[in-house]
Amino acid sequence: MYKIFWVLWPSFLVAGIAEGLFFTVIDPQELYLFGEPVRLSTMATYSIGFLCFWAICAASSFLTWFLLRSAADINKGVGAPVGFEHGDGI
Amino acid sequence: MASTTPRQLQEKKPSFVEESLYEVHQKVHPRAVSGIFATWRWSMVWFTQILYYGLCWLPWNGRQAVLFDLAERKFYIFGLIFWPQDVIFLAILLIISAYSLFLVTAVGGRLWCGYACPQTVYTEIFTWIEQKIEGDRNARIKLDAAPMNARKLWLRSAKYACWGLLAFWTGFTFVGYFTPIRTVWDSVWSLSLGPWETFWMLFYGAFTYLFAGHMREQVCKHMCPYARFQGVMFDPDTLTITYDTERGEPRGSRKKGVIPISIAKGDCVDCGICVQVCPTGIDIRAGLQYECIGCAACIDACDQVMVKMDYPKGLIRYSTERAIKQRWGWREIVGHIVRPRIFIYSAILGAICVAFVWGIANKASLRVDVIRDRAILAREVEGGLIENVYRLHVINVSEAPQRYAVSVSGLPGIDMVGERTVEVPAAGAKMLTVQVRVPPESGKKGSNRIFFDVMSVADEGVSVHEKASFLQP
């Protein structure tokens, strides 16, 4: 449960900042998507923009969490002896 | 491996360690409390919520007084209108908020968390609803443990329904700050609300419900970044909620009116009320902890017990680390508020506030952007004159429609073709195409500095002198 929040929550906060900065500088009416002007309403552009920012930030948070997993977590069920960890030979 | 140290033992059981990293969350059932700090907290609940739920309904000059109109990219705050170009004010406002938080924290600890943070405020309201429907702390603990029956189902449904209504209203109000709230209100009743407005209303409402109804102190403990770094702003002279260990220990139960010294005990009767009222479920007697949101509920609760015991109040009180150590009274604590850290925070905050107010007061009511036509650099027109084309983006920041006169200067014989006046609606903008012509012998080859003057017809004080470059082939 906490893991889900650790991925979704910081990305939500950062996406909010990114959204604010991006749309302060760029008018949604001036955006082009695949060479065509965006024909969505301003509200829709802002909303989709925010959700995209959130998804990108969440992907980054997810990777961080993924790389933070301990060796034991990764080795679990791969055949390594139970409780085996680096440093046991010392 | 010769021997196994405790540390290695711990590392050897990865699955166990993984689980024990997180303590098992036990639901906190805060006991209701009354007293001076509870009154302060409730005053802040009323103040912030009347502001939040009410402000969006306030009209001003025929529009909503406070409206962050995203669709039009304009922020209205009473008489002020902010355009995207005014983003600097938003940045300054954020800096002011940050420094205010630093200053308040350095002086009084987590006053923001305890009294004004939306998480605290909504939790307070949601807990109040819970208590009205399900009863006091003991009744709620019993109800939680009881098997599901008709009564429990009824109480739970009633509670969730009330929470849901309040959360929905909160979400509705939130959307009403970005789309005019009266339009949103009509759309809700005619079921014609746009898909994104609906989405954000439910999104904000659902998170209010989840955070204030179910997660509560979990948000402060696990999600709030401020809770993690507030300790940096603390020093030995910062007011925090403190248990007077020297006076309270050794704690222990006793009959009413017993003089502590006669039974070789401190003033703490170990009734545990301070733990029961704590919204984050900690024991303040263990010392200052990052989970403490500074709500002062334990002060109110302990004071009531002290009065009942005929002991002096303030066994738990607002005090500072140094004051407790050196047994200072209020006079010394107040005397130590002025210290270098506070002085620096105040000086910076004061300077930024002055700059902010000066900037707002001197905000231009007319703004002009000159954009060169990118398609044509320079061309020869009838009579051998050289022509450059510009587009003038004239923005009227005032709240009344304005007529502006446009003129050009900077080169001998310079003149312009096209509209010489432009009518711009209140808080609106117009794009004006201007052809500027000069004789071929005027100026040098290449780029020449010219100026556009845009001046209000009604008020000559409102004008903009904007430079541009004229290309002479």
B11, B194, B225 ranked by CB distance to A43: nearest: B194
Residue B11 lies in a domain: no
Q: Convert the pLDDT of each residue in B182-203 to its tens digit.
A: 999 999 999 988 889 999 999 9
Residue A82 lies in a domain: no
* Structure confidence at residue B11 (pLDDT): 43
Residue B248 lies in a domain: no
Q: Please state the ipTM of this predicted complex.
A: 0.77
Q: Residue B203: its chain A contacts at CB < 8 A?
A: none
Query: Which residue positions in chain B have pLDDT lower than 70?
Result: 1-25
Residue B79 has which token pair? 């008489």
Residue B402 lies in a domain: yes
Residue B459 domain boundaries: 366-472
Answer whether A77 touches B (CB < 8 Å). Answer: no
* Structure confidence at residue B1 (pLDDT): 36
User: How far is A52 from chain B, CA to nearest CA, in Å?
Assistant: 15
Answer whether B225 touches A (CB < 8 Å). Answer: yes
CATH number at residue B430: 2.60.40.10
Q: Residue A43: its chain B contacts at CB < 8 A?
A: 70-71, 179, 194, 196-197
| Interface with chain B: mutation pick from A40, A43, A65, highest number of B CBs within 10 Å | A43
- Please report the DSSP string for B163-210 in residue order: HHHHHHHHHHHHHTTTTTHHHHHHHHHTT---HHHHHHHHHHHHHHII
Torsion angle, alpha carbons of B122, B277, B233, B327, to 10 = 150
Strand partners, A32: A37
Q: Do B223 and A44 touch (CB under 8 A)?
A: no
Answer whether B223 touches A (CB < 8 Å). Answer: yes
Q: What is the CA radius of gyration of chain B?
A: 32
Residue B452 lies in a domain: yes
Q: Do A85 and B14 touch (CB under 8 A)?
A: yes
Q: Do B14 and A47 touch (CB under 8 A)?
A: no
- Compute the distance between CA of residue B209 and CA of residue B203 in angstroms, rounded to an integer: 10
| Interface with chain B: mutation pick from A7, A24, A31, A51, highest number of B CBs within 10 Å | A24
* B 138-197 near A (Cβ less than 8 A): 179, 194-197
Residue A12 lies in a domain: yes
Q: Convert the pLDDT of each residue in A41-87 to its tens digit.
A: 888 889 999 999 999 999 999 999 888 887 777 777 665 555 555 55
Answer whether B119 touches A (CB < 8 Å). Answer: no
User: How far is A24 from chain B, CA to nearest CA, in Å?
Assistant: 6
Residue A27 domain boundaries: 2-69
Binned at pLDDT 50, 70 and 90, residue A90 comes out as: very low
Q: Do B15 and A76 touch (CB under 8 A)?
A: yes
Q: Residue B90: its chain A contacts at CB < 8 A?
A: 24
E strand map for B215-268: 240-243
Which string of b and e fits B130-168 if b means at least 16 CB within 10 Å? bbebbeebeebeeeeeeeeeeeeeebeeebeebbeebbb
Number of domains within chain A: 1
Residue B144 lies in a domain: no
Answer whether B86 touches A (CB < 8 Å). Answer: no
Residue A84 lies in a domain: no
Mean pLDDT along residues A6-25 = 90
Are the C-beta atoms of B119 and B219 separated by less than 8 Å? yes
Number of domains within chain B: 1
A88: closest chain B residue by CA: B1
Answer whether B222 touches A (CB < 8 Å). Answer: yes
Q: Do A83 and B13 touch (CB under 8 A)?
A: yes
**H/E run at residue B432:** strand B429-438
Q: Do B222 and A44 touch (CB under 8 A)?
A: no
A24, A42, A76 ranked by CB distance to B71: nearest: A42
- Compute the distance between CA of residue B45 and CA of residue B120 in angstroms, rounded to an integer: 9
Residue A32 lies in a domain: yes
Answer whether B217 touches A (CB < 8 Å). Answer: no
Of B403, B408, B456, the closest CA to residue B435 belongs to B408
User: How far is B252 from chain A, CA to nearest CA, in Å?
Assistant: 38
- Compute the distance between CA of residue B256 and CA of residue B181 in angstroms, rounded to an integer: 57
Residue B467 lies in a domain: yes
Residue A38 lies in a domain: yes
- Compute the distance between CA of residue A24 and CA of residue B88 in angstroms, rounded to an integer: 11
